[in-house]
Protein backbone atom coordinates (compact mmCIF):
# COMPACT_ATOMS: atom_id res chain seq x y z
CA UNK A 1 0.00 0.00 0.00
CA UNK A 2 1.38 3.37 -0.91
CA UNK A 3 1.51 6.46 1.23
CA UNK A 4 -1.66 7.03 3.18
CA UNK A 5 -2.41 10.68 2.68
CA UNK A 6 -6.15 10.83 2.23
CA UNK A 7 -9.12 9.70 4.26
CA UNK A 8 -10.16 7.34 1.44
CA UNK A 9 -6.81 5.59 1.63
CA UNK A 10 -7.07 5.60 5.43
CA UNK A 11 -10.48 3.91 5.23
CA UNK A 12 -9.10 1.31 2.83
CA UNK A 13 -6.21 0.69 5.22
CA UNK A 14 -8.69 0.29 8.11
CA UNK A 15 -10.71 -2.15 6.00
CA UNK A 16 -7.56 -4.27 5.59
CA UNK A 17 -6.98 -4.11 9.35
CA UNK A 18 -10.59 -5.10 10.08
CA UNK A 19 -10.31 -8.00 7.65
CA UNK A 20 -7.14 -9.20 9.39
CA UNK A 21 -8.81 -8.81 12.78
CA UNK A 22 -11.88 -10.76 11.61
CA UNK A 23 -9.76 -13.82 10.93
CA UNK A 24 -6.90 -13.60 13.41
CA UNK A 25 -8.37 -11.79 16.42
CA UNK A 26 -4.82 -10.61 17.06
CA UNK A 27 -4.31 -7.53 19.18
CA UNK A 28 -5.40 -4.46 17.20
CA UNK A 29 -2.04 -2.78 17.81
CA UNK A 30 -0.21 -5.79 16.34
CA UNK A 31 -2.43 -5.76 13.25
CA UNK A 32 -1.80 -2.06 12.63
CA UNK A 33 1.94 -2.52 13.12
CA UNK A 34 2.06 -5.46 10.67
CA UNK A 35 0.07 -3.61 8.03
CA UNK A 36 2.22 -0.51 8.38
CA UNK A 37 5.33 -2.69 8.13
CA UNK A 38 4.04 -4.27 4.91
CA UNK A 39 3.15 -0.96 3.32
CA UNK A 40 5.57 0.51 0.82
CA UNK A 41 5.68 3.87 2.56
CA UNK A 42 6.32 4.23 6.25
CA UNK A 43 5.68 7.98 6.18
CA UNK A 44 2.12 8.67 7.23
CA UNK A 45 0.67 12.07 8.01
CA UNK A 46 0.12 12.23 11.79
CA UNK A 47 -3.49 13.44 11.43
CA UNK A 48 -4.28 10.58 9.05
CA UNK A 49 -2.53 8.08 11.31
CA UNK A 50 -4.62 9.32 14.24
CA UNK A 51 -7.76 8.96 12.12
CA UNK A 52 -6.78 5.39 11.13
CA UNK A 53 -6.22 4.41 14.75
CA UNK A 54 -9.46 5.97 15.97
CA UNK A 55 -11.55 4.47 13.16
CA UNK A 56 -10.03 1.01 13.59
CA UNK A 57 -10.32 0.92 17.38
CA UNK A 58 -13.83 2.41 17.44
CA UNK A 59 -14.99 -0.08 14.80
CA UNK A 60 -13.51 -3.05 16.68
CA UNK A 61 -14.90 -1.78 19.99
CA UNK A 62 -18.40 -1.26 18.59
CA UNK A 63 -18.58 -4.21 16.21
CA UNK A 64 -21.33 -6.04 18.12
CA UNK A 65 -23.46 -2.90 18.27
CA UNK A 66 -22.95 -2.06 14.58
CA UNK A 67 -23.70 -5.68 13.66
CA UNK A 68 -27.03 -5.41 15.47
CA UNK A 69 -27.81 -2.17 13.62
CA UNK A 70 -27.09 -3.94 10.32
CA UNK A 71 -29.25 -6.94 11.29
CA UNK A 72 -32.18 -4.63 12.08
CA UNK A 73 -32.06 -3.34 8.50
CA UNK A 74 -31.70 -6.58 6.59
CA UNK A 75 -34.84 -7.55 4.73
CA UNK A 76 -35.22 -11.14 3.61
CA UNK A 77 -31.55 -11.77 4.20
CA UNK A 78 -29.53 -13.36 6.99
CA UNK A 79 -26.59 -11.53 8.50
CA UNK A 80 -24.29 -14.54 8.10
CA UNK A 81 -24.95 -14.48 4.36
CA UNK A 82 -23.81 -10.87 3.94
CA UNK A 83 -20.42 -10.77 2.23
CA UNK A 84 -17.67 -10.25 4.78
CA UNK A 85 -16.28 -7.17 3.03
CA UNK A 86 -19.76 -5.63 2.96
CA UNK A 87 -20.18 -6.32 6.69
CA UNK A 88 -16.82 -4.78 7.51
CA UNK A 89 -17.47 -1.72 5.32
CA UNK A 90 -20.88 -1.28 6.97
CA UNK A 91 -19.43 -1.62 10.47
CA UNK A 92 -16.69 0.88 9.67
CA UNK A 93 -18.95 3.46 8.05
CA UNK A 94 -21.67 3.19 10.70
CA UNK A 95 -18.95 3.76 13.28
CA UNK A 96 -17.75 6.81 11.36
CA UNK A 97 -21.28 8.19 10.99
CA UNK A 98 -22.02 7.84 14.69
CA UNK A 99 -18.71 8.59 16.42
CA UNK A 100 -16.89 11.03 14.10
CA UNK A 101 -18.40 14.50 14.36
CA UNK A 102 -15.96 15.91 11.81
CA UNK A 103 -17.23 13.67 8.99
CA UNK A 104 -20.65 14.45 7.50
CA UNK A 105 -22.78 11.26 7.45
CA UNK A 106 -23.41 11.61 3.71
CA UNK A 107 -19.64 11.50 3.15
CA UNK A 108 -19.51 8.25 5.15
CA UNK A 109 -22.30 6.82 3.00
CA UNK A 110 -20.60 7.82 -0.25
CA UNK A 111 -17.24 6.46 0.89
CA UNK A 112 -18.80 3.19 2.03
CA UNK A 113 -20.49 2.75 -1.34
CA UNK A 114 -17.30 3.46 -3.30
CA UNK A 115 -15.12 1.23 -1.13
CA UNK A 116 -17.61 -1.65 -1.33
CA UNK A 117 -17.77 -1.32 -5.13
CA UNK A 118 -13.97 -1.48 -5.27
CA UNK A 119 -13.44 -4.42 -2.90
CA UNK A 120 -16.63 -6.48 -3.01
CA UNK A 121 -19.28 -7.56 -5.52
CA UNK A 122 -20.94 -5.50 -8.28
CA UNK A 123 -24.16 -5.41 -6.24
CA UNK A 124 -22.45 -4.29 -3.04
CA UNK A 125 -22.70 -0.56 -3.72
CA UNK A 126 -26.49 -0.57 -3.77
CA UNK A 127 -26.72 -2.88 -0.78
CA UNK A 128 -24.29 -0.81 1.32
CA UNK A 129 -26.02 2.40 0.25
CA UNK A 130 -29.40 1.07 1.39
CA UNK A 131 -28.19 0.00 4.84
CA UNK A 132 -26.16 3.17 5.46
CA UNK A 133 -29.01 5.38 4.26
CA UNK A 134 -31.34 3.63 6.70
CA UNK A 135 -28.88 4.26 9.54
CA UNK A 136 -28.53 7.89 8.45
CA UNK A 137 -32.29 8.42 8.61
CA UNK A 138 -32.43 6.99 12.13
CA UNK A 139 -29.30 8.62 13.60
CA UNK A 140 -31.33 10.65 16.11
CA UNK A 141 -33.15 7.52 17.30
CA UNK A 142 -30.21 5.13 17.70
CA UNK A 143 -29.57 3.57 21.09
CA UNK A 144 -25.83 4.04 21.32
CA UNK A 145 -23.63 1.48 23.02
CA UNK A 146 -22.83 2.22 26.63
CA UNK A 147 -19.08 1.73 26.16
CA UNK A 148 -17.15 3.28 23.31
Residue percentage of the chain with pLDDT more than 70: 91
Q: Which residues contact 37 (CB under 8 A, 6 or more apart)?
A: none
pLDDT digits (tens, 9 = 90+) for 41-58: 656 677 888 999 999 999
Cα–Cα dist 40/28, whole Å: 20
CATH entry, 7-141, from 1.10.940.10, 3.40.190.10, 3.30.465.10, 1.10.20.60: 1.10.940.10
Q: What is the pLDDT of residue 148?
A: 44
pLDDT digits (tens, 9 = 90+) for 67-87: 999 999 998 889 999 999 999
| pTM for the full predicted model | 0.90
Under DSSP, the state recorded for 146 is S
Amino acid sequence: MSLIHSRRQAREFVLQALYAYEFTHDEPEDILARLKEMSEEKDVDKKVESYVRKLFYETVTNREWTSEEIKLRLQNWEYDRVAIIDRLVLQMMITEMVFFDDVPPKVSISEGVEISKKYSTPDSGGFVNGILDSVYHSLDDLSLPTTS
